[in-house]
Chain A
Amino acid sequence: MTTATTTNRKVNYKQGSAAGRWIRHHLVLILGLLVLVYTFVPIFVVVLMSFNDPTSRLIYRFDGFTLHNWLNPCEAEGMCGALSTSVQIGLLATLGSTILGTLIAFALVRHDFVGRSSMNLLIFLPMASPEIVMGSSLLALFVAAGRGGQLGFWTILIAHIMFCISFVVVTVRARLAGLDDNLEQAAMDLYATPQQTFWRVTFPLVFPGILGAALLSFSLSFDDFIITNLNAGNTTTFPMFVWGVAQRGVPMQVNVVGTVMFLVSVLIVVGGEVNSRRRSAKLV
């Protein structure tokens, strides 16, 4: 097989200079890397603008270098309050959706019940509905229930838990379905009780999936705008703050938050990758 490919490649690339051949051989990879570079262009702008020393609040361009924005993040009026609201909602929504979603994932993979296909549909639909529809239907419900005047922190939290559950179920279910249940059987064979098997074997093996689901929930909740904006009342989250200042003039501190979010998520993902490599190295 390998020889066949090599000869074939030789036939295909016989013509042309060495450089042309190299480019043709790596064309897909080069194009792919270009797309990747494109995804980073706005991030570069965000990082750059976080060091910007603007001359006017209304003109959004790079005027000069300063550390001021990084040293005084809360100077942007209302931003730190919005950030803290977003973090609180994010943490609570993560906790709620991770618990509810993980329970569902265990039921789906490990238990038999009536109505499996409608259950799958119930999990799938929230991920396939446009946010504007989910947001407006929740608002319609809150108003119909006479809670139209009490929109705020708790209605946002309810909404966030709702749209995060499905993503948790899908993530944890994938991890659970890929689990080798010989390990659990071995534990049982060694006289572990079902509880011991669960907490000593199953749960640690599923935990990376649960952690991943929690991180995903937090970032979904932290970043949501459309559903939140409909159900927020007078409460302001970070994305809503950015939306508001986008019309009036953007304080550069917004870019500081953007940069920090980027760095933290890269650290978490890289850390997770390194950790799992170290673990698999240990096992070998």
Chain B
Amino acid sequence: MSETVRKRGSTGYLLLIPGVLWLGLFFVVPLYSLVATSLFDPSGSDTTGYTMTYHWANYSHVISDYWQPLLRSLWYGALATFFCLVLGYVLAYAIAFKAGRWKNLMLVLVIAPFFTSFLVRTLSWKLLLADDGFIVNTLQFVHILGADGRLLATPVAVIAGLTYNFLPFMVLPLYASIDKIDPRLIEASSDLYANPFVGFFKVTWPLSLPGVVSGTLLTFIPAVGDYINAELLGSPNQRMIGSVIQSLFTNANNYPAAAALSVILMALIVVMVLFYVRRAGTEDLL
């Protein structure tokens, strides 16, 4: 294929303007309003209006009030991302190297369950993990769970739900990366007397790193912000930060606190992502 020649002139700008305006007005400007709102004086309300007093204390207040759900969200998100990586890697590897002519069908099957409503899917996990359900009874029978042990309303259910719901975000980028690996390289490693484990960790894994990095990011970021799983499968002890922000906005009408918490969440994620991408040495992804 010959190199595409990019046309110069004003047409490019004309094509960009409508979409850029939309994203600017409804994605960039709102981020600014969010930061502004987080510095409003907390004495106002959404009916009487807020005054801008650069009230930085909003930040220290929400951190001291809500550091627990904040850390919990990051922790649950990280665990769910790890489990997604393990499950997703097996699946993506199987599709890329072992599925043969069933490759396309398997890819379709990976995505298909996730077209069913997120909430309906999560509700059916609630049924599956119920106290008198098959899974809990089996686990009680083999004494993994105690006689009155349960899964619902525990961190296990929340993390399992997060893992399930964000799995395709992991599988698809992993598949894209693994599928590009030349299988002859893996054969070569085994010809050179590497056992399958050494072959995997010296050849396949490093070559799939771009997929691992983008897959973990695409899983971790939405999982940290999610609160559907925590609310439907967990108890107030598993409350995640998204749920705190949501109720500060809609129930408590405390806009400055909610906005400050949102800004903190975004900042934490940006810092973690930048650090992670640096460490993984895949900056060109961004």
Contacts and interface: CB of A to CB of B under 8 A. Distances in A.
A37 B121 CA distance: 15
Interface string A1-28: 1001100100010000000000000101
A32 B90 contact: yes
Given A113-B12, A161-B22, A140 B227 contact: no
Task: Across the A-B interface, give the 7 residue pairs with the lowest CB-CB distance, nearest first.
Answer: A32-B94, A130-B225, A111-B12, A265-B115, A137-B30, A137-B34, A45-B124
Contacts of B13: 107, 113
A35 interface: yes
Interface string B16-49: 1011101110111111011011000000001000
A107 B164 contact: no
- Name which of B13, B125, B127, B286 has the most chain A CB atoms within 10 A of its CB: B127
A206 interface: no
B146 interface: no
Interface of B: 1-2, 4, 6-9, 11-13, 15-16, 18-20, 22-24, 26-31, 33-34, 36-37, 46, 87-88, 90-91, 93-95, 97-99, 104, 106, 108-121, 123-128, 130, 132, 164, 167, 184, 187, 190-191, 196, 217-218, 221-222, 224-228, 232, 241-242, 245-246, 249-250, 255, 258-259, 262, 265-266, 269, 273, 286
A141 to B, nearest CB: 4
A58 to B, nearest CB: 13
A29 interface: yes
Interface of A: 1, 4-5, 8, 12, 26, 28-29, 31-33, 35-36, 38-43, 45-46, 49, 60-61, 99-101, 103-104, 106-107, 109-113, 119, 121-134, 136-141, 143-144, 148, 158-159, 161-162, 165-166, 169, 177, 180-182, 219, 222-223, 225-226, 229-230, 238-239, 242-243, 246, 250, 254-255, 257-259, 261-262, 264-266, 269-270, 273
Contacts of B98: 26, 28-29, 32
13 contacts: A4-B187, A38-B164, A39-B164, A42-B124, A103-B15, A122-B27, A137-B262, A162-B27, A222-B117, A226-B242, A258-B117, A258-B120, A270-B108
- Name which of B23, B46, B97, B249 has the most chain A CB atoms within 10 A of its CB: B23
Contacts of B15: 103-104, 106-107, 111
B8 A136 contact: no
A54 B226 CA distance: 30
A261 B118 CA distance: 11
Given A132-B262, A239-B117, A254-B123, A28 B221 contact: no
A273 B108 contact: yes
Contacts of A42: 113, 116, 121, 124-125, 128, 164
